[in-house]
């Protein structure tokens, strides 16, 4: 494209660039030309007399040149789709998505279903590390808390290879529960575990809490990972091996409420309970698995945004009383918003 340009020796180019930006003269949509130790910047307009004086002082020359367009990569999915979707479609777009290695999982809201393929393809163009984009095709459901997904762009894949906190996980994401959004929690909990502690991770899925704990606290006495879904349990075994955590983590397949009284009774210093939907049904097991002298429980739950902790605290107190124990809340925090009226919370409490 032909436009007014300004030519300068390379060694003075930065000074001129600063001047052009300051005076709003630089045409950033056109690529600067480079030749024979000179740089030529494209201008947005003819400089005025005063500006010309400053330009002359820098030994720069103005003349018309042919420039190429500076193709700027969009910075976000929304920006990349801004010319491809209608205004109302853009308003409904949910531009956040989860990344599991080279697989992205995104929610396509109602009304945008027909645009799924376009959204998926654009996501891959924007993130060259991605090979597949799946859309969420249903909420987490069933005993195994799995989520239906459908391929919308790229190649079909069964297993994602996901890295977190120096660990690697293989995840058959359509057949097991996994959420990268709990990554901060995994790091937090792992940072609390002390040497010689015996830890039980209830509802351990493909093993992320247990493996991250083992990696961050290799002096833990044992980390028990209890999971009901046979496929998730098998993948936990693979992930334990992949991360060389066989000495620290023992994966147990089965129902927490059956495993705790049978295999974990009185053995644990710390229990992690990352199943917010129904964790209250497993509080007995937590009290049973803790050592006689007590320990610490990390209790995940959903609560109303207005008063998120009250119901959890009430039930914990009730169960503690049943076992003749006292509790002390060590920390309470919101893990993430879940819906307009609900948040996911975690309560760390001491049992004594």
Ligand X SMILES: C[S@@+](CC[C@H](N)C(=O)[O-])C[C@H]1O[C@@H](n2cnc3c(N)ncnc32)[C@H](O)[C@@H]1O
* Using rule CB under 6 A, residue 273 touches ligand X: no
* Cβ-based nearer residue to ligand X, 157 or 279: 279
* Using rule CB under 6 A, residue 302 touches ligand X: no
* Cβ-based nearer residue to ligand X, 4 or 225: 225
Q: From the CB of 225, what's the least distance to ligand X, in Å?
A: 9
> By CB under 6 A, what part of segment 177-216 binds ligand X?
177-179, 182, 203-205, 208-209
Please name which of 218, 166, 216, 213 lies closest in space to residue 196, comparing C-alpha atoms: 218
How buried is residue 73: exposed, middle or buried, by Cβ count under 10 Å (0-12/13-18/19+)? exposed
* Using rule CB under 6 A, residue 345 touches ligand X: no
**Which residues on neighbouring strands pair with residue 4, listed in sequence order?**
64
Please check whether residue 239 is in contact with residue 211, taking contact to mean a CB–CB distance below 8 angstroms. yes
Q: How far apart are CA 140 and CA 303, in angstroms?
A: 17
Please name which of 99, 265, 59, 287 lies closest in space to residue 180, comparing C-alpha atoms: 99
Q: How many CB atoms lie within 10 A of CB 205?
A: 28
Binding track over 108-137 against ligand X, x by CB under 6 A: ------------------------------
Candidate residues 256, 260, 264, 335; the one interacting with ligand X per rule CB under 6 A: 256
Candidate residues 66, 68, 150, 255; the one interacting with ligand X per rule CB under 6 A: 255
Q: How far apart are CA 234 and CA 214, in angstroms?
A: 18
Candidate residues 228, 245, 283, 335; the one interacting with ligand X per rule CB under 6 A: 228
Q: Candidates 28-36, 42-50, 138-146, 291-299 — which segment interacts with ligand X by CB under 6 A?
A: 138-146
Q: From the CB of 140, what's the least distance to ligand X, in Å?
A: 7
Please name which of 264, 343, 328 lies closest in space to residue 296, comparing C-alpha atoms: 328
Query: Which residues sit at the interface with ligand X, rule CB under 6 A?
Result: 143-145, 177-179, 182, 203-205, 208-209, 226-229, 232, 255-256, 274-275
């Amino acid at each position: 494209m032909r436009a007014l340009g300004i030519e300068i020796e390379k060694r003075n180019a930065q000074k001129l660039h600063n001047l052009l930006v300051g005076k709003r003269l630089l045409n950033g949509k056109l690529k600067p030309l480079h030749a024979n130790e000179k740089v030529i910047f494209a201008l947005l307009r003819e400089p005025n007399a005063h500006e010309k004086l400053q330009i002359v002082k820098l030994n720069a020359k103005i003349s018309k040149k042919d420039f190429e367009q500076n193709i700027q990569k969009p910075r976000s999915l929304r920006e990349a789709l801004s010319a491809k979707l209608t205004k109302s479609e853009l308003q409904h777009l949910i531009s956040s998505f989860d990344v599991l290695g080279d697989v992205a999982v995104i929610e396509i809201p109602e009304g945008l279903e027909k645009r799924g393929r376009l959204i998926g393809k654009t996501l891959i163009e924007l993130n060259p590390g991605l090979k597949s984009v799946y859309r969420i095709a249903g909420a987490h459901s069933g005993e195994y808390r799995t989520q239906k997904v459908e391929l919308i762009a790229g190649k079909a894949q069964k297993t994602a290879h996901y890295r977190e906190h120096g660990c690697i996980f293989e995840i058959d994401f359509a057949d097991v529960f996994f959420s990268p959004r709990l990554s901060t929690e995994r790091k937090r909990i792992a940072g609390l575990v002390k040497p010689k502690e015996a830890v039980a991770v209830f509802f351990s899925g493909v093993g992320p809490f247990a493996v991250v704990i083992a990696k961050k606290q290799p002096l833990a006495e044992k980390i028990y990972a209890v999971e009901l879904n046979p496929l998730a349990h098998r993948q936990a075994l693979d992930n334990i091996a992949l991360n060389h955590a066989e000495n620290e983590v023992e994966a147990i397949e089965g129902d927490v409420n059956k495993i705790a009284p049978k295999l974990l009774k009185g053995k644990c210093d710390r229990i992690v309970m990352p199943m917010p939907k129904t964790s209250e049904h497993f509080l007995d097991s937590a009290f049973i698995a803790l050592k006689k002298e007590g320990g610490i429980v990390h209790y995940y739950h959903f609560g109303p945004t207005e008063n998120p902790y009250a119901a959890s605290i009430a039930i914990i107190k009730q169960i503690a009383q049943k076992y003749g124990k006292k509790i002390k809340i060590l920390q309470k925090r919101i893990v993430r918003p879940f819906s307009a009226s609900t948040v996911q919370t975690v309560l760390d409490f001491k049992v004594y």
